[in-house]
Amino acid sequence: MLQGTPILVLREGTERERGKSATGNNIAAARAIADTVRTTLGPRGMDKMLVDGMGDITITNDGVAILKEIDVEHPAAKMLVEVAKTQDQQCGDGTTTAVVLAGELLKRAEGLLDQNVHPTVITRGYQLGVQEAKRLLDAEIGVTVKPEDEGVLIDVATTAMGSKGVFGSRDHLAKIAVKAVQKIAEKRGEKTVADVDQIKVEKRHGGTISDTELIDGIILDKERGHPRMPGEVTNAKIALLNSALEVKKTEIESKINIKNPAQIQSFLDEEDKTFRRMVDAIKASGANVVVCQKGIDDVVLHYLAKEGIYAVKQVKESDLQKLARATGGKIVTGIKELSAADLGTAAKVDERKVGEDDMTFVTGCANPRSVSILVRGGTEHVTEEVERSLQDALKVVASVLEDGTVAPGGGATEIELAVRLRKWAATVGGREQLAVEAFAQSIEAVPWALAENGGYDSINVLIELRRAHDGPSANKNVGVNLADGSVTDMWKMHVIEPIRVKRQALSSAAEVATMVLRIDDVIASKKSTPSPPGGGGGHDH
C-alpha cells in the first residue's frame, strides 16, 4: 500500500464538515435566522427595514415577508425560511412563531447533544412531543365555534393583525376581512370551504388606512377602452371574452397580391365589415359591458363606443375568472357563441379615479362568489403592510370557518402545552423523556419572547404563567397581557387564534429541527465561476 498518499474522492475545492462540528454549525445558522425574527413577535414586536439589491425598501413585521426578502446563503438557514413559507401558505399567521419554535428546539437539542444524547433519540422525543401536543390541542385546549359567531371571527382577525403595523385601524380592517371571507365561503357537503384567492386585494396609496373598503364585486386595474364610452353603466350585462376582438392573422405566412386600388378598398371594407359583425354579435346578445382578456382593435372600440357599450381590454385571466364568479357570467371564447345566457350581471359598472389611476369598478353583484378589497394608506410602504396584514387576517378567518376550532392566544396555549407535556414526559421513560422535556421547554419560548418584546421581565412573567396554569385554581386560558405585563384570561381580552396555526407551527418546527439534527456530514462543492458575458467558454465539463 502507498503510505501517506492522500486519495481524493471529492473534487478539488470541496469543503466537508463532519460530526459535531457539522451539526453545531447548522444549529448556529438556524438559530441566527430565528433570532432575526424573534423581536418581531407579538403586538409589541418591532419592524424590520429591508433594502434589496435594487434599493427597494420593504418595512414589515411579517415573519415570512422578512425571510423571503433576506438573501439567505446557508443551507440550514434556508430550511427555516421554508418553514415560514409553509406556515404562511397553510395558515397565513404564526410564521414568526414557527421559526422561533424551530430555533428554540435546536438550541435545546444542542444542550442534549453536549450530554451525549444521540440525535435520533432527540428527534424521536420531539416527534412524541408533537403527537401528544396535537392530541392535547384537539381534545382539551381547542374550543369549537359556530361559523355564524361573528364576534369570535372578528377577534381572530384582530389578533392576527395585532402584531402588524396597522394597530390603529385593525378593528376596521378585521370587519372587512370577516365580511369578505363570509361572502366567498361555500358549503361542500358537510364541510365549509373558503378559498382566500377569490378575494382580490387591490392597493392604491392616498387617503388613510380607514378609507380601505370592501367592494361587493371586482375592481379592474384598467380604464375604459375609448373616451366616448359611457363612464357609468347601470344594470350591467357583462360579456366575458378570452379571445381578441381583432382581425385574425393567418397561422402560416401569407401574402395578398393586389392588382389595382379598388381591391385595396374592398379589402379594407371587408375588414371593416368583420369589425361591424363583432360589435353586432355583442349587441345582439344584449351585453352593455365587454371585458376582454386580449386586445380589442381601435375600430371595434370606436363602434362599441357608438353603441354605448363599455369595454375593457387586456384584463388578467385571474381577474376574468373572478369576474365570472362575482357576476355569474360564463367566459366565452368565440364571439359567435355569445348568448344572453352567458352574460354576467351587476348593478353598476363605472370608471373611478383612485389615486392617480382610472379603475373600473364592477359593483352591486347579486350573490358574489368573489369580492375585492381596495386598500388605501398614506404611502406605498403603508399600503403594502396593510395588504400583508389583511392577507393574514383573511387566511385565519378562513381557517376558523373551515375547521371551526380556536384557542386562546397571548402565549396561553403554549404554556398550557408546556405544563402538560412536562408531566407527561415522566410517563415516556428512557432517554426520550429528556427530549420531551426539552420540547416542552422550547414551547415556552413564545410567551417568553412576547414578554421580552413588550419590555417586561420574561422570567417573572413565565413564573406567573406557570403558576396560573398549574395549581389549585388553574386556568388554561391565562396568557400575557401586554398592556401592563400582568397575566390575564385571554378570552376576556379577546385574543383568540385558530387551532390550525398552533398545530402547523408545532409540526413544521419539529420537522425542520428533526431534519437539521439528523445531518452529520455537510459536503459543499466549490462554487462554479460564472462564465464571462459574451464569451461562451468558462464552463467546467
> What CATH number is attached to the domain comprising 459?
1.10.560.10
Q: What is the CATH number of the domain that holds 358?
A: 3.50.7.10
* 365, 348, 346, 306 alpha-carbon torsion, rounded to 10°: -160
Q: What is the pLDDT of residues 203-251, one digit of tens each?
A: 888 878 888 888 888 888 888 888 888 888 888 888 888 887 777 776 7
Report how far residue 238's alpha carbon sits from residue 311's, in angstroms, rounded to the nearest whole number.
9
Contacts of 88 by beta carbon, 8 Å cutoff, 6+ apart: 64, 95
Residue 234 CA, distance from chain mean position = 35
Report how far residue 539's alpha carbon sits from residue 537's, in angstroms, rounded to the nearest whole number.
6
Residues 268 and 133 in one domain: no
CB 80 within 8 A of CB 38: no
Report how far residue 224's alpha carbon sits from residue 291's, in angstroms, rounded to the nearest whole number.
10
Residues 460 and 516 in one domain: yes
Residues 33 and 117 in one domain: yes
- Domain interval for residue 390: 146-216+372-403
Report how far residue 75's alpha carbon sits from residue 163's, in angstroms, rounded to the nearest whole number.
29
Cα-flanking dihedrals φ and ψ of residue 17, to 5°?
-125, 140
Q: Cell 378570452 identifies what position?
A: 242
Q: Would 4 be classed as within a structural domain? A: no
Q: Would 267 be classed as within a structural domain? A: yes
Q: Would 413 be classed as within a structural domain? A: yes
Q: Would 466 be classed as within a structural domain? A: yes
H helix or E strand, kind and range, residue 36 = helix 19-38
Report how far residue 485's alpha carbon sits from residue 487's, in angstroms, rounded to the nearest whole number.
7
The residues annotated as belonging to the active site are 62, 95-96, 392
* Sign of the C-alpha dihedral computed for residues 431, 437, 442 and 443 taken in this order: positive
- Burial class from Cβ neighbours inside 10 Å (0-12, 13-18, 19+) for residue 17 reads middle
Q: Would 288 be classed as within a structural domain? A: yes
**Greatest pairwise CA separation for the chain in angstroms:** 104
Residues 265 and 363 in one domain: yes
358 forms bridges with which residues in the sheet? 353
* Sign of the C-alpha dihedral computed for residues 273, 274, 279 and 285 taken in this order: positive
Domain total in the chain: 3
Q: Cell 474522492 identifies what position?
A: 9
Q: What is the pLDDT of residues 281-302, one digit of tens each?
A: 888 888 888 888 888 888 888 8
Residues 359 and 232 in one domain: yes
Report how far residue 413's alpha carbon sits from residue 477's, in angstroms, rounded to the nearest whole number.
7
Q: Would 541 be classed as within a structural domain? A: no
- Three-class HEC string of 425-490: HHHHCCCHHHHHHHHHHHHCHHHHHHHHHCCCCHHHHHHHHHHHHCCCCCCCCEEEECCCCEEEEC
Residue 82 has a pLDDT of 87
Residues 109 and 174 in one domain: no
The residues of the chain scoring below 70 in pLDDT are 1-8, 163-167, 250, 527-541
Alpha helices in 404-431 (DSSP H): 412-428
Residues 456 and 377 in one domain: no
Residue 439 has a pLDDT of 92
Residue 45 has a pLDDT of 81
Residues 156 and 227 in one domain: no
Q: Which of the listed residues 354, 385, 403 is the one where a domain comes to its end?
A: 403
Q: Would 534 be classed as within a structural domain? A: no
Cell of 106: 435546536
Q: Would 529 be classed as within a structural domain? A: no
Per DSSP, the residues of 295-339 read: -B-HHHHHHHHHTT-EEE-S--HHHHHHHHHHH---EESSGGG--
Report how far residue 351's alpha carbon sits from residue 226's, in angstroms, rounded to the nearest whole number.
12
Angle at 148 between CA 146 and CA 152, to 5 degrees: 70
3-state secondary structure of 390: helix
Residues 178 and 248 in one domain: no
Residue 163 has a pLDDT of 67
372 forms bridges with which residues in the sheet? 200, 215
| Residue at 332: amino acid letter | V
